A and B are shown apart, each in its own frame.
Chain A
Amino acid sequence: MKKNKLFISGDEAIAIGTKLARPHVIAAYPITPQTIAVERLSDMVENGELQAEYMHVESEHSAISAAMGASAVGARTFTASSSQGLVYMAEGLHYASGGRFPIVMMNANRSLALPWSIYGDQRDSLGLLDSGWIQVYAEDAQEALDMIIQAYKIAEHPKVLTPIMVNIDGFILTHTYEMVEIPEQEAVDAFLPPFETPNKMSFEEPKNMGFSSQPIDNTEFKYQQDRAILYAHKIIEQTDAEFDKAFGRKYHGMVENYRCDDADQIIVTLGSICGTTRLIVDELRNQGEKVGLLKIRYMRPFPEKEIQELTANAKAIGVLEKNISFGYEGTVYTNVNSAIAKTGKRPYLKNFVGGFGGRNISKDDIRKMFTTLKTQEKTENTVEYFNLNVATDERR
């Protein structure tokens, strides 16, 4: 069968993936570098290609509020944001996850002010890790498109009912062009049945929605929410396997093991930088080095078991992230370190932090990280800001 391929940007891939999922309502506010995604969706609604209600809201706070209202009564709902817009939505993010509304959102990972920057890093979404959303990070435009389709299936599962944030790196993925295979609409329809909400708005079964709680009930609601997102682990793997069957592409569920099995040194990372890391792993493997890449796909639920298994025999592990929790270490590192600590093993661990506000992470940066891991260089701090443009030693 001839495959339909298009040369498109990551934003366009998101728009096409969303169209194929047939949402009823799209509520979004444009923000760089997400803008093209919602512009394309707006075009599709305008020209009738997509039968949906496109709500032109006045802010991101309104976007998530409108999306919640629609999702609450059973509409398949999409929103998208980035950076300042995402943090402006923060109140609504907790609302949506607590309300168990399976909204799918695209987030274009971008730096947070101040200083103002429109360029990429992952501080926006990682700073909202505790908002109760499932978070997935795509490596390229194809994965971005495919994850929108998978996301609806996972989010709407009756035992999950949790919103999902599909993250793609600002500019690196949103604005670069790749060949992307476009699934057939009939195949997507077969893969993704219509959303059945337990809270349909009807005269037969009127519902009181989004009510308050007293201390006697609140803990149980939070326990239930946590349990649902943990349960999603299974549904994520199941959905990826079904997707593979239907479309011939798979992403290995929670994480991807790229040459980790016999690796002495492993870099754990997420998002587009996995592509560059993959190249360096191949290059070093050709030189006889035993190195691997552990690509984190989902940050919530967290792939604890997978990380423990894949790093079990490694001598050194580096966590590379475009994020810092000021005053401590990178959040991804904190999570990975916690998983490894539970095994009782203590390999050499390092947190490589950088790539903020759009700074490129080069092949050479990654080569140096593998060297640090191999030599197990003794340093004062676990956190290493790589590629700083200034000296940081103590001045006399």
Chain B
Amino acid sequence: MNRPTKQNYQRPTHIDDFPVGPQFEAGHLADTNAGWRTFKPVIDHEKCINCLICYLVCPDGTIIKTETKPDVDYDYCKGCGVCAHECPKDAIEMVKEQR
């Protein structure tokens, strides 16, 4: 699937190499963003029927469609739990993050 991926952003070291105004190539993800997650969704692929409701309701687009069952992009998932709440098969469990 065509998803933007995290790219290595080389911070300019000279002002002439700085973007002219706040304009830059689109879809350039310079960083991950999942630091505030306290619970993470874990999909039980045995229970999952690939209905993709989680994919539709995820406010951050972090559920990844695959050939078989969906996966979670933990680099960007904020742990809101909407997917777990909406799953008709209770196939998603919110598991406390261990740090």
Contacts and interface: CB of A to CB of B under 8 A. Distances in A.
B21, B23, B25, B26 interface centre (most CB from chain A within 10 Å): B21
Contacts of A212: 22
A100 interface: yes
Interface string B8-30: 00000001001011111111100
B21 A208 contact: no
B26 A207 contact: yes
Interface in B42-94: none
Contact of A100 (B21, B24, B25, B26): B21
Contact of B22 (A198, A206, A209, A227): A209
Contacts of A225: 21
Given A206-B27, A208-B28, A99 B18 contact: no
Given A220-B15, A223-B15, A227-B15, A211 B24 contact: yes
A221 interface: yes
Contacts of A221: 18, 21-22
B15 A100 contact: no
Contacts of B25: 205-208
A301 interface: no
Contacts of A381: none
A161 B25 CA distance: 19
Interface in A128-187: 161
Interface size of B as a range: 10 to 19
Contact of B23 (A209, A223, A227): A209
B76 to A, nearest CB: 17
Interface string A191-221: 0000000110000011111111100000011
Contacts of A227: 15
B20 A211 contact: no
A246 B40 CA distance: 68
Given A220-B15, A227-B15, A98 B22 contact: yes
A224 interface: yes
Contacts of A206: 25-27
A198 to B, nearest CB: 6
Q: Which 4 A-B pairs have the closest CB atoms?
A: A100-B21, A206-B26, A208-B26, A211-B22
12 contacts: A100-B20, A199-B21, A199-B23, A205-B25, A206-B27, A207-B23, A207-B25, A208-B26, A208-B28, A213-B22, A221-B18, A223-B15
